[in-house]
Amino acid sequence: MARQRLLISLRWADMDAYRHVNNVELLRILEEARVRVFSQPLGRGGDSMLGTGMVVARHEVEYLASLDYRPEPVAVDLWVHAVGGASFDVGYEVLEPDGGPVYLRATTSLVSYDFTTGRPRRLDDEQRAALEGLRDAPPVLRRGGRRPEAAADAGPAAG
């Protein structure tokens, strides 16, 4: 199963003053992909991961190219690259449906959460098996937005 490819439509309102899809709206696109994948029932008629509770603990996003608004959908590849006791990490690529340029790579850490107690809860065996079925290698992100070989030559980061 591993990577899931979803087609997500862009909205006119996603475009900013620079005529490209705003960075915040790209996070919304990742959320849309996550909701579609994790709202599906697990196993034989079980609850979904979304239905049993999960919260975002962390995002790491690398913007690689400008995504201009257009009426055609963009592809989002989503997969799981780490599974812990109560948490799991999801990788993404936002790209052209034909496999063309990659606009964004990202990872999200999610925590299985019990809203009644207000605390994280351990993943059960069925959830763990479903997550393992989506497993692939972690996305390759450059730290600090620079290529590793360029980071040693660069001065302090601006701003």
Domains in the chain (CATH in brackets) are 4-143 (3.10.129.10)
CA 57 centroid distance within chain: 12
DSSP states of 65-100: S--B--SS-EEEEEEEEEE-SSEEEEEEEEE-TTS-
Digitized pLDDT (tens) for each residue of the chain, 159 residues in all: 589 999 999 888 888 887 888 888 999 999 999 999 999 887 666 788 888 899 999 999 999 999 999 999 999 999 999 999 999 999 999 999 998 899 999 999 999 999 999 999 999 999 999 999 999 999 999 875 444 443 333 333 333
